[in-house]
Amino acid sequence: MKILIILPNWLGDAVMATPAIEMLAHKYPDVAFTFVGSFVSIEALKHHPKCKASFIDETKKSKKGRLRATLAFAKELGSFDIAITFRKQFHSSLLLKKVDAKSKIARSSWHAKLFGLTHTPNIPTNQHLVLQYASLAFGGEKAFSYDEVPPLKLYVLKKRFSRPTLGINAGATYGSAKRWYPDRFAEVGAYFSDKFDIIIFGGPNEVEMAKDIQEHLKQKGVKNFTNLAGKTTIEELCHYIGGCDLFITNDSGPMHVAAAYQVPTVAIFGPTKHTETSQWKNKKSIIVREDIECAPCMKRECPLKHHECMTKISAEMVIQNAKILLDQ
């Protein structure tokens, strides 16, 4: 059984697609997966033991135009029994149209129907994204329940630290509205610094934010920290997060990486829907959020300019919830 999967672009969404991939691997024990995706999604998921090939989709950068590049890319991929896209996007539907596959699955959209894909289910969005992906992977044949879908799964080996380690992730690629504040992350880190070494995580665009946390920690006399922001590959990011004993994070890709390794996590939610993108089946996970009238607005920046969904979350609230996790 050969299955082509076009992965979501974002790291967190790609990790949330892993239960669907595991369900396919269980149904088809002889499966050979081919993954197509962004650089970050491929780097995170290419380690799957049944992934036989992986391709970074760079058609958007092609000098000959994305349309022509997509048609050429389809020929390069080969033939499959099933082809699935987790993206609801024109060029991914076009890729499935042109790829050689018996069964072609995409979310219902005008372009998926225009290209005559064999399965275009209308998946309800008022459920966790993991459940949406699971239903989509099986052509929308059924809606899966919470108990039927496995936890998140990554195959990068986790780090074995010599001392208990607290991970801090202040970034969130989607936008500033999702980000709690560096001084408050530092306050939480300082509180636990006598029990944990601290690692500050962040992507290339979050280096300055991580430096702010670093400076606040120094001001509080904390020395046992390492700033890895902008210094890790995706594989290294998974490796280090997987080894943490406690993780404090915004709603972000690294939050889902922590869930894949069952790392005890305090997740801070502001403008996003925790019912759809919270940590999936992490047995030691607590969400901290303020149930205010304007949340979740799903905006990249606070449209009302007050950012109360985040300003009302104090360091003490996060500390107390972290202590609950540690007491468990």
Single out the residue of 193, 190, 183, 191 nearest to residue 213, CA to CA: 183
CA 320, distance to chain mean position in Å, is 26
Q: What are φ and ψ of residue 111, in 5° steps?
A: -75, -35
Q: What is the CATH number of domain 2-148?
A: 3.40.50.2000
CA 218, distance to chain mean position in Å, is 30
CA 230, distance to chain mean position in Å, is 17
pLDDT attached to residue 313: 83
pLDDT attached to residue 173: 61
* Contacts by residues 89-95 (CB-CB < 8 Å, ≥ 24 positions apart): 91/59, 91/60, 91/66, 91/67, 92/6, 93/117, 94/67, 94/70, 95/6, 95/36, 95/70
Identify any residues that bridge with 84 across adjacent strands, giving them in sequence order: 5, 105
Distance from C-alpha of 198 to C-alpha of 207, rounded to nearest angstrom: 16
Max Cα–Cα distance, the chain, nearest Å: 63
pLDDT attached to residue 16: 98
Show pLDDT as tens, one digit a residue, over the chain (328 residues).
Answer: 999 999 999 999 999 999 999 999 999 999 999 999 999 999 999 999 999 999 999 999 988 899 999 999 999 999 999 999 999 999 999 999 999 999 999 999 999 999 999 999 999 999 999 999 999 999 999 999 999 999 999 999 999 999 999 999 987 565 565 568 899 999 999 999 999 999 999 999 899 999 999 999 999 999 999 999 999 999 999 999 999 999 999 989 999 999 999 999 999 986 666 778 999 999 999 999 877 666 665 576 756 555 667 777 899 999 999 999 998 8
DSSP line for 214-261: HHHHHHTT---EEE-TT---HHHHHHHHHT-SEEEEESSHHHHHHHHT
Q: What are φ and ψ of residue 282, in 5° steps?
A: -85, 115
Distance from C-alpha of 285 to C-alpha of 147, rounded to nearest angstrom: 17
Identify any residues that bridge with 13 across adjacent strands, giving them in sequence order: none
Residue intervals of the chain classified under CATH 3.40.50.2000 are 2-148, 165-327
Distance from C-alpha of 94 to C-alpha of 65, rounded to nearest angstrom: 14
Torsion of CA 253, 33, 5, 21, to 10 degrees: -50
First to last CA, the chain: 43
Torsion of CA 123, 125, 130, 133, to 10 degrees: 30
Identify any residues that bridge with 76 across adjacent strands, giving them in sequence order: none
Distance from C-alpha of 318 to C-alpha of 152, rounded to nearest angstrom: 24
The encoded tokens of residue 15 equal: 């990790």
Give me the CATH topology for the region 165-327: Rossmann fold (3.40.50)
Q: Quote the pTM value.
A: 0.94
Q: Classify residue 29 as exposed, middle or buried by CB count within 10 Å of its CB (0-12, 13-18, 19+).
A: exposed
